[in-house]
Amino acid sequence: MSANYTTRRRAVTGLRFGLLAVALVVFLFPFYWMFKTSVEPTDAVYGDVGLLPGGFTFTHYEQAFSVGFHESVINSLIVAIGTTVLTTVVALIGAFSILRYRYPGRGGAAKLVLLTYMFPHVALIVPVFYLAAQVGLLSSPIMLIAMHTMLALPFCMWILMAFLEDIPRELEEAALVEGASELGAFARITVPLSYPGIIAAGTFAFIMSWGEYMFAFVLMRESASHTVPVALHQLLGAYAIDWGLLAAVSIIATVPVLALFWLMAKYLGEGIAKGTGVV
Amino acid sequence: MTKIELDHVTKEYGSLVAVDDIAIEFTEGAYTMILGPSGCGKSTTLRMIAGLETPTRGDVLIDGEVVTDQPPRHRNLSMVFQSLALWNHKSVRENMGFGLQMEGVDKEERNARIEEIAAVLQIEDKLDQPPSELSGGQQQRVALGRSLVRKPEVILLDEPLSSLDEKLRLEMRTELARIQQELGTTFVHVTHNQEDAMTIADEILLLNEGEVQQFGPSLDLYHEPDNEFVADFIGSPSINLFDANIVENGAVRLDAGGISLDLPERHRDQYLSVPRSDVRVGVRPESMYLGDDGESGWPAFSATVDVVETFGDYNWYYLQSDLEESLVSQSANVNVMNSLSRGDEVTVRVNPESVHLFDPKSGEAYF
């Protein structure tokens, strides 16, 4: 190889890393700014603009607790975990049924699931609010979990169908022949083999539910029932905006999602690549 | 021991008839091969015995009991799949112990039985690895071990040898036969390979287009085929087949246009009893003798050697004669093998005892 070629390859590699670095800065800068704002004293926020924090304080975090923001974190955790479990279980059973069994309306069911994904959700606000009020589930996590499951289900089923499709039927049949029931074969063979898909679907459902604002705002009327996005919005005062407090609660709102992502990163790539057909 | 019976079983997929009215009783404790070309319904038949498919009509009986609507787990059988269907998220030990665990056998006994079978299959040092880390032959053994460890009455095998390379295939083939003889378990083995079937099966069920062509001891299918399809499918190289007329002109003669075969007097009545004069003739390659080989009184014709294929202890000779069809002869005669080569003219003698005659329309065998 000529020296020229080697130099060119190095230049290309350098350029790649350079572009990646620029992209990272663009993506991460808002997060850095949020962090910076959350730890500097209020007067520094309104002072000269600088890249480094103008001082260091935990006041805003203490303030977040004193306004009860941690309660909304707990509400959100309840809703998000409920949504994740319900979505994953329903999506797994649904995907398995559509792929493995032949019955009338099977193809229609698969299309209907995708259709709900296309449906403008705003149009559901009034009927859902009315329904929740009628059955007395306003401000109850149950109604919100149901709504979030509806929102997350199509994509999660999509991911899981792509996964289950790749599991040869013979692996389940081998279990049937060795003495397992249909359900036993599903639980002992199919489910463990689709863990990456289940984790990808679950993570998607969790993140979707954690950040969902519209239905949470409409359904969770009492302030004690507010989830993180709603509580966050309530902190935008009508006359004065406490930037430090807002930044601090935003950081708090981000932490669970980041932690989940960090734990699941290994499986997420495979799961999403398979679910969307991008490999 | 367990008897499997198919009572007029039919399987249809929409308008496609995969299996057409099969009525068979498999012999208990035998090694049975279900043989046929691809798409003949052999795998579907096996899967109906296993309970993985439900017949459209007819019943599957195990030990006289109708199990048609019973799930696989109530049939006390096991199956080795073509893809092997090993679970790579489990160790070899867990793969093999799965069935015992389903039966509720405790861990200690489970391990004892796994280790016993693993020793027979020579995989005892692989038990704690996942199957994906094993070689093809070892994976094959694990799949077989998973079936054997439960000591089922019946083991079904769906083309278990097809993924192996030639040497390993022959090894495993022999081993399957040995294990089956040792255990006395009923084996029902699906294959498209007539040589596998001929070499190790006690009996063969030959299917074509979903229909039974012949069912019986392997050698019966070879020596006494029920029809032209059976004669043609069994045997390698394939049986020589050509059209001929039975002519009575003092002696009885098979007149095939280009060549005539004068048959010995003792066959006279047999040939004249055939209801029609135009027939399909079948002669196995080893029943066509070349040069000085064979007996002088046998019907003979002359031919030219077109191609010679050498196998060491025997040769195949492809022959051109006045017949349209190319003929093939198999010879293990040292004189023939030393003297005959491509382009040579040669006398071909046909053993009249081993001539098969078939109805040219239905393909049914006369004799």
pLDDT tens string B161-213: 887 888 888 988 999 999 999 888 999 999 999 999 999 999 999 999 999 99
* Residues A230, A146: Cα–Cα separation, whole Å: 18
Same domain membership, residue A226 and residue A105: yes
B181, B212, B233 — which closes off a domain? B233
CB-based contact B50:B11 (threshold 8 Å): no
DSSP letter string over B82-113? Answer: TT----TTS-HHHHHHHHHHHHT--HHHHHHH
Per-residue confidence (pLDDT) for residue B159, from 0 to 100: 92
Helix/strand/coil for A50 = coil
Give a yes or no: residue B304 inside a domain. yes
Q: What is the mean pLDDT of chain B?
A: 93
Same domain membership, residue A202 and residue A111: yes
Per-residue confidence (pLDDT) for residue B296, from 0 to 100: 86
B218, B233, B248 — which closes off a domain? B233
| End-to-end alpha carbon distance in chain A | 32
Same domain membership, residue B144 and residue B121: yes
Give a yes or no: residue B335 inside a domain. yes
Give a yes or no: residue B219 inside a domain. yes
Burial of B46 (0-12, 13-18, 19+ CB in 10 A): buried
Per-residue confidence (pLDDT) for residue A151, from 0 to 100: 92
Burial of B265 (0-12, 13-18, 19+ CB in 10 A): exposed
**A187 at the B interface (CB within 8 A)?**
no
Conformation bin of residue B228: beta by default, left when phi > 0, alpha when psi is -120 to 50: alpha
The CATH number of the domain holding residue A262 is 1.10.3720.10
- Single out the residue of B242, B209, B207, B210 nearest to residue B221, CA to CA: B207
Per-residue confidence (pLDDT) for residue A51, from 0 to 100: 82
Per-residue confidence (pLDDT) for residue A266, from 0 to 100: 75
Q: Which residues span the domain enclosing B350?
A: 240-358
Same domain membership, residue A125 and residue A31: no
The CATH number of the domain holding residue B136 is 3.40.50.300
A31-59 as b/e: b if 16+ CB within 10 A = eeebbbbbbbbbebbeeeeeeebbeeeee
Per DSSP, A123 falls in state: G
B163-184 as b/e: b if 16+ CB within 10 A = ebeeeebeebbebbbebbeeee
* Residues B234, B280: Cα–Cα separation, whole Å: 17
From A173, which residue of chain B is nearest by alpha-carbon distance? B52
Give a yes or no: residue A99 inside a domain. yes
Same domain membership, residue A161 and residue A53: no
A11, A36, A57 — which closes off a domain? A57
Mutate to test the interface with A, among B73, B80, B150 (most CBs of A within 10 A): B73
Identify which has the larger pLDDT, B261 or A113: B261
Rounded-to-5 percentages of helix, strand, coil across chain A:
80, 0, 20
Burial of B342 (0-12, 13-18, 19+ CB in 10 A): exposed
Same domain membership, residue A45 and residue A88: no
Within 8 A of B82 by CB-CB distance, chain A residues are 170
- Single out the residue of B33, B313, B84 nearest to residue B196, CA to CA: B33
Question: Smallest Cβ distance to A178: which of B52, B82, B99?
Answer: B99
The CATH number of the domain holding residue B275 is 2.40.50.140
* Residues B320, B297: Cα–Cα separation, whole Å: 23
Distant-in-sequence, close-in-space partners of B224: CB < 8 Å, separation ≥ 6: B365
Same domain membership, residue B186 and residue B214: yes
Identify which has the larger pLDDT, B364 or A273: B364
Give a yes or no: residue B364 inside a domain. no
**Tokens 């015992």 label which residue?**
B100
Per-residue confidence (pLDDT) for residue A32, from 0 to 100: 92
Give a yes or no: residue A83 inside a domain. yes
Same domain membership, residue A184 and residue A140: yes
Same domain membership, residue A48 and residue A75: no
Give a yes or no: residue B301 inside a domain. yes
Same domain membership, residue A66 and residue A53: no
Q: Which residues span the domain enclosing A191?
A: 61-276
Per DSSP, A51 falls in state: S
Give a yes or no: residue B366 inside a domain. no
Domain count, chain B: 2
Give a yes or no: residue B329 inside a domain. yes
Per-residue confidence (pLDDT) for residue A2, from 0 to 100: 64
Same domain membership, residue B270 and residue B148: no
Contact B146 A168 (CB under 8 A): no
Q: Which residues of B touch A (CB under 8 A)?
A: 50-52, 71-73, 77-79, 81-83, 85-87, 89, 98-99, 102-103, 146, 150, 156
Per-residue confidence (pLDDT) for residue A279, from 0 to 100: 42
pLDDT tens string B274-287: 888 899 999 999 99
Domain count, chain A: 2
Same domain membership, residue B289 and residue B178: no
Same domain membership, residue B221 and residue B72: yes
Same domain membership, residue B34 and residue B140: yes
Give a yes or no: residue A256 inside a domain. yes
Same domain membership, residue B303 and residue B158: no
Same domain membership, residue B173 and residue B39: yes
Same domain membership, residue B67 and residue B129: yes
pLDDT tens string B95-137: 999 999 999 999 999 999 999 999 988 899 999 999 999 998 8
Within 8 A of B103 by CB-CB distance, chain A residues are 179
Q: Is the pLDDT of residue B271 over 90?
A: no
Cα distances from A275 to residues A198, A241, B352, in angstroms, run 11, 41, 68
**A173 at the B interface (CB within 8 A)?**
yes
Same domain membership, residue A46 and residue A123: no
Same domain membership, residue A49 and residue A96: no
Contact A171 B102 (CB under 8 A): no
**A136 at the B interface (CB within 8 A)?**
no
B216, B233, B250 — which closes off a domain? B233
Cα distances from A211 to residues A77, A208, A232, in angstroms, run 11, 6, 11
Same domain membership, residue B45 and residue B25: yes
* Positions of chain A with pLDDT under 70: 1-2, 238, 270-279
pLDDT band at B297 (very low <50, low <70, confident <90, very high): confident
Q: Dihedral of CA B52/B57/B61/B66: which sign?
A: positive
Per-residue confidence (pLDDT) for residue A143, from 0 to 100: 95
Give a yes or no: residue A12 inside a domain. no
Give a yes or no: residue A42 inside a domain. yes
Give a yes or no: residue A13 inside a domain. no
Same domain membership, residue A167 and residue A85: yes
Q: Dihedral of CA B267/B270/B274/B280: which sign?
A: negative
Give a yes or no: residue B294 inside a domain. yes
**A178 at the B interface (CB within 8 A)?**
yes
Same domain membership, residue B55 and residue B105: yes
Per-residue confidence (pLDDT) for residue A271, from 0 to 100: 65
Contact A176 B89 (CB under 8 A): no
DSSP lists the bridge partners of residue B247 as B253
* Residues B161, B190: Cα–Cα separation, whole Å: 10
Same domain membership, residue A163 and residue A37: no
- Single out the residue of A127, A184, A120 nearest to residue A151, CA to CA: A120
Helix/strand/coil for A34 = helix
Give a yes or no: residue A16 inside a domain. no
